[in-house]
Amino acid sequence: MKHLLKLLDLSGEEIIGILDLADQLKYERRNHIPHKHLEGKSVGLIFQKSSTRTRVSFETGIYQLGGQPLFLSSKDLQIGRGEPVQDTARVLSRYLDGIMIRTFAQQEVEDLAEYGSIPIINGLTDFCHPCQVLADLMTIREHYAKLEGLKLAYIGDGNNMTNSLIVGCLKTGMKISCACPEGYHPDPVVLEFAKGNPDFELTGDPGQAVRDADVVYTDTWASMGQEDEKEARIKAFAGYQVNAELMELANQGAMVQHCLPAYRGQEITDEVFEAHADELFEEAENRLHAQKAVMVALMK
């Protein structure tokens, strides 16, 4: 593994390997066991979109590994004034030991990897959010002590989260059923990947998706960059809310996961959110451990 550009590039074994390392790093952090695997290394964090979790977990994670994080907002970088990503990649490769980037187009992340000579980590694009799904799988495995055979139901917008969840679940032996309205389906590239797999289902019926589900997952109806569509989307996703009634149809004791930020009263009710707050904030914490594992795997 040279980069983390998208989960489609990883094997199931590579994903499980990262989760195992993440568990170990979480144990070490909890027990104050030093794990400075990136001593003397500098990692650039390029953000073209907002972030709370990704920024803070990467910055603190790099520090805990003995390295130096550099927060690079595209507002300040020359990339924001039109310097090509191909040139930025070659320049930054001369200073840094790795780059995490959050941006719009997946192609920009792929270009950074192609033109640069250091590991590139995708911190979210319009296409996918691999770091988040590694943390999600880690959280689910902690809860159930396995992944194989579990069923995840995804309710709502077929977005970057859905794309990564489909790939992450199927590669680790989970079943995934997505309930997305017409016009808001996952990316065709991911649907092609999942095509014919008996562990995958795409439906327009949230009730059907959550049947026998061990994990119920949702995300915002309007992702970053879709702010103008917010009103139309609220209408399109009526009936796709994760609420107590829908949870009744899932397995008893099913987990709830959400990448956050959550919009209570839209994709999830306050009642369901608060009833599952421990699981949701464990998931948020696991961003730290999962990403540290990715960086160690790529940069040590």
Residue 93 binds which entry of ligand CP, ligand NVA, none, CB below 5-8 Å type-dependent: none
- Pick the catalytic residue: 106, 128, 219, 241? 219
The question of whether 219 is a catalytic residue gets the answer yes
Please tell me the distance from the alpha carbon of residue 200 to that of residue 127, in angstroms, as a whole number: 19
> What is the C-alpha separation between 274 and 282, in angstroms, rounded?
13
Q: How many CB atoms lie within 10 A of CB 145?
A: 7
- The dihedrals phi and psi of 268, each to the nearest 5 degrees, come to -150, 145
What is the smallest separation between the CB atom of 225 and ligand NVA, expressed in angstroms?
A: 7
287 a catalytic residue: yes
Map the footprint of ligand CP across residues 92-131, applying CB under 6 A. Answer: 124
Q: Applying CB under 6 A, does 132 fall inside the site for ligand CP? A: yes
Determine if 224 is a binding residue for ligand NVA (CB under 6 A): yes
Structure tokens belonging to residue 16: 């499980």
Q: Does 259 bind ligand NVA (CB under 6 A)?
A: yes
For residues 279 and 275, give the distance between their C-alpha atoms in angstroms, rounded to a whole number.
9
Eight-state DSSP code of residue 116: -
State the nearest-atom distance from the C-beta of 52 to ligand NVA, in Å: 9
Q: Which of 38, 44, 54, 103 binds ligand CP (CB under 6 A)?
A: 54
Q: In terms of CB distance, is 84 or 261 closer to ligand CP?
A: 261
Q: Smallest distance from the beta carbon of 91 to ligand CP, in angstroms?
A: 25
Are 97 and 42 in contact by the 8 Å Cβ rule? The answer is yes
Binding to ligand NVA by residue 220, rule CB under 6 A? yes
Q: Which helix (H) or strand (E) holds 29?
A: helix 12-30
CB closer to ligand CP out of 130 and 158: 130
Q: Which is nearer to ligand CP, 124 or 247 (CB)?
A: 124
Query: Does residue 219 touch ligand NVA according to CB under 6 A?
Result: yes
Nearer to ligand CP, 93 or 266 (CB): 266
Q: Is position 129 annotated as part of the catalytic site?
A: yes
Q: CB under 5 to 8 A by kind: which of ligand NVA, ligand CP, none does 223 bind?
A: ligand NVA
Question: Starting at the edge strand that comes first in sequence, how are the strands of the sheet with 200-203 ordered?
Answer: 200-203, 175-179, 151-155, 215-218, 255-258
Q: Does 223 bind ligand NVA (CB under 6 A)?
A: yes
Return d(Cα 73, Cα 157) in angstroms, integer.
Answer: 28
Q: What is the DSSP letter of 140?
A: H
Answer yes or no whether residue 161 interacts with ligand NVA by CB under 6 A: yes
* Half-sphere exposure at residue 14, Cβ-oriented, CA atoms within 13 angstroms: 16
Quick one: which of 63, 18, 1, 75 has its CA closest to 36?
63
In the complex, the residues that contact ligand NVA under the rule CB under 6 A are 124, 159-161, 219-220, 223-224, 259
Which residues are catalytic, by number? 102, 129, 132, 219, 259, 287
